Copies of this chain bind each other. A is one copy, B any other.
């Protein structure tokens, strides 16, 4: 007999675990849904760099049919000498983008201070891989009701990932979308190793939607397309993907951002493939 994978009402993660076989949540962000058969694409640059770059990217994202803009104002960087994000002054860029394109705005928060600053200006929060274990931040985001993308820590087990999500749910924020973004291994050809089976594995364990970040897992433009298709094929509920009007001059993640043409072309491919695997895009 198979190992039972749908343990009903897990004892250590009571809220994040499925309550019954087939239990699935749909998370709403404005008029967009994560879950319920949709393949939802969040797209945008690694970081908002300027009004011009922000608007240019937003137009491409809107043109593609995606509805949510990845729009980071603050960036966690391994080096203190790397570009740290445009910061608070970027808020006016977000407002301009929203006014022109009507896109929903998704952004990263790395501290309680940033949460306070950005909460009212965005539609969706993101807790990045470095913050998956930032429990003080999780507790504060848990007190909001804002939809939030929680990315897997770069060496987190699935159980630890779920326990971090539990921090959000236990404080009352049920609007959690999990994101697989690659784990750290010995392999160096890719930036991380995309753990593609984490998607169906998480769906065995939790009712929360699961999306994939093909850009950070691959770390190479040429592999972003295959990673995205793999995500769709295994039943992911969407993507968060990096697009930049001119990747070669981006202030960060130059090697993994798609240019507009490549992004639009990939969206077409995904649109063709989606119905075959039972998703709508």
- Do A189 and B158 touch (CB < 8 A)? yes
- Do B135 and A77 touch across chains, with their CB atoms under 8 A apart? yes
Q: Fill in one digit per residue for A198-221: 1 if any B CB lies within 8 Å of its CB, else 0.
A: 111100100000000000011011
Would A81 and B12 be within 8 Å (CB), given that A197-B193, A204-B222 are in contact? yes
A227 to chain B, nearest CB (A): 6
Question: Which residues A236-281 have CB closer than 8 A to chain B?
Answer: 248, 255, 272-273, 276-277
A13 vs chain B, min Cβ distance (A) = 8
- Stoichiometry (number of copies): 4
Is the pair A135, B223 in contact by a Cβ cutoff of 8 Å? no
| B195/A187 in contact, CB under 8 A | yes
Shortest Cβ-Cβ A-B pairs, 7 listed: A155-B155, A233-B233, A130-B133, A111-B136, A226-B234, A229-B233, A200-B226
Tell me, in angstroms, the Cα distance from A272 to B275 when the chains sit together: 11
- CB-defined interface of A87-116 with B at 8 Å, one 1/0 digit per residue? 000000000000000000000001111100
Complex alpha-carbon distance, A130 and B163, angstroms = 14
Other-chain residue from B155, B217, B220, B234 in contact with A230 (beta carbon distance below 8 A): B234
CB of A37 within 8 Å of the partner chain = no
What residues of chain B lie closer than 8 Å to A131, measured between beta carbons?
134
A133 to B129, CA, bound (A): 10
Please give the distance in Å from A72's CB to the nearest CB on chain B.
Answer: 14
Q: Is A185 an interface residue when CB atoms closer than 8 A count as contact? A: yes
Contact A185 B193 (CB under 8 A): yes
- Within 8 Å by CB of A233, from B112, B183, B232, lies B232
> How many angstroms from the CA of A221 to the CA of B4 in the assembled complex?
11
Cross-interface CB contact of A12 among B79, B195, B273, cutoff 8 Å: B79
Q: A81-B170, A194-B197 are in contact. List 10 more A-B contacts (CB 8 A).
A: A3-B220, A12-B81, A110-B134, A112-B112, A155-B155, A183-B186, A184-B186, A196-B196, A226-B235, A229-B277
CA distance A9 to B137 in the complex (A): 36
**A31 contacts partner chain B, Cβ-Cβ < 8 Å:** no
Q: Of the candidates B227, B235, B276, which one forms a contact with A197 in the assembled complex, judged by CB atoms under 8 Å apart?
A: B227
Q: Which chain A residues numbered 19 to 37 have a C-beta less than 8 Å away from chain B?
A: none
At the interface, yes or no: A166 with Cβ under 8 Å from chain B?
yes
| CB closest residue in chain B, given A204 | B222
* Interfacial chain B residues near A118, Cβ < 8 Å: none
Contact status B200-A222, CB under 8 Å: yes
A217 to chain B, nearest CB (A): 7
Q: Are B226 and A199 in contact (CB under 8 A)?
A: yes
Partner among B2, B186, B273 whose Cβ is within 8 Å of the Cβ of A185: B186
Q: A160 in the interface, Cβ–Cβ < 8 Å?
A: yes
